[in-house]
Amino acid sequence: MTYVKGLEGIVAAETKVGHVDGDKGQLIYRGYWAKDLAINYTFEEVAYLIWNGQLPNHEQLNEFKEEMKAHRVLPKNIVALMDCLPRDTEVMSALRTCISALGDPSYSWPPTKNQAVALTAIAPTIIAYWYRKMNGLEVVEPNENLDHVANYLYMITGEVPDSSLVKALSAYFVLTIEHGMNASTFSSRVVASTESDMVSAICGAIGAMKGPLHGGAPSGVISMFQEIGSAENIEPWVRQKLENKEKIMGFGHRVYRTHDPRAEALKEVSKQISDDNEWFDFIVKIEDTTIRLLNEYKPGRKIYTNVEYFAAAVMKAVELPADLFTPTFTASRLVGWTAHVLEQSEDNRIYRPQSSYIGYTPVEQKQ
């Protein structure tokens, strides 16, 4: 047996959901370029694609939207549960707890698309409810007249959002829907492989996403923008970081060895919705300068901006608070997780890798 730390490079499943090619900078959802989907389609259309393998026609899309809306309202037991949580409970912890409490007998094996829709639809309501409650704000109920992403922003802010901001956040949602066999997706498939229920699999995925090495938020990138401050400080700041061998937030990815297609799509969307062109030019100049200096200090490493860099631009535009970055990521990734759980159930075999024992062996007693 061969030991590979972190299972890097090990193929653990076959999937039709999505494909990541880090060397070519490709991200595919069900046969479509994720970048094109993010720019040209809504979250509901892409979620339908992920779960059904094809884009919806007009009638299918309207029916699907109504199904999503029907699952937005919080059950009374979930409201009662959140009312009992300590006020300083993190949003991700509150979300994990509430999703777990949804695990009634109807969520039995095998998982269903209806369960996937229900969990995806209710997650933004849980996030928004808890965010407002923990900050002493009046809870905002779902708005049936708004689509999924617009309603999410509405429940957080209490105001119907501008369409350009909805487009920006919708692009972010689409680009984070699915990303191969990452830690949280793998966790969901491992739990599902035991023939446990959909809720348990999603709770496992949320637990993995909660870790800072996986669900890292773009708050570090926003802090970097603020620390640099002005265009004349960019090159001295970046050089100092590189000479001190410090990490520069928003650059590099474990998978991509060229431009991250998600970053390219968000860059294009950010350009479309940014009213502050001077600010946008500033972050583009940071990107260009950093990539040039990375090539100077680390030739051949091929380090480029990742999705978090331009996600920071989108988060700034929609004015989402930092403690909602990872929960928002989670709200979109629920689609990918549930699709993988469904796929796992269709051709299941329980995951049972081996471990290599490196401890001591008892000394045999002589007779």
List own/partner pairs for 77-82 with CB under 8 A and 24 or more apart. Answer: 77/101, 78/102, 78/126, 79/129, 82/126, 82/129, 82/130, 82/133
Cα separation, 18 vs 24, in Å, equals 15
CB 303 within 8 A of CB 259: no
Task: Copy the structure tokens of residue 37.
Answer: 């989907």
Number of separate helices (H) and strands (E) present in the chain: 16, 3
Strand-pair partners of 360:
none
Omega of the bond leading into 110 within 30 degrees of 0 (cis)? yes
* Distance between first and last Cα of the chain: 34
CA nearest to 248, candidates 281, 312, 291, 278: 291
Cβ–Cβ < 8 Å for 165, 301: no
Question: Of 136, 132, 131, 120, whose CA–CA distance to 92 is shortest?
Answer: 131
Residues marked active site are found at: 253, 308
Q: At what angle do helices 325-346 and 183-193 cross, to 10 degrees?
A: 40
Burial 149-159 (b: 16+ CB within 10 A, else e): bbbbbbbbbee
Report angle CA 139, 143, 147 to the nearest 5 degrees: 125
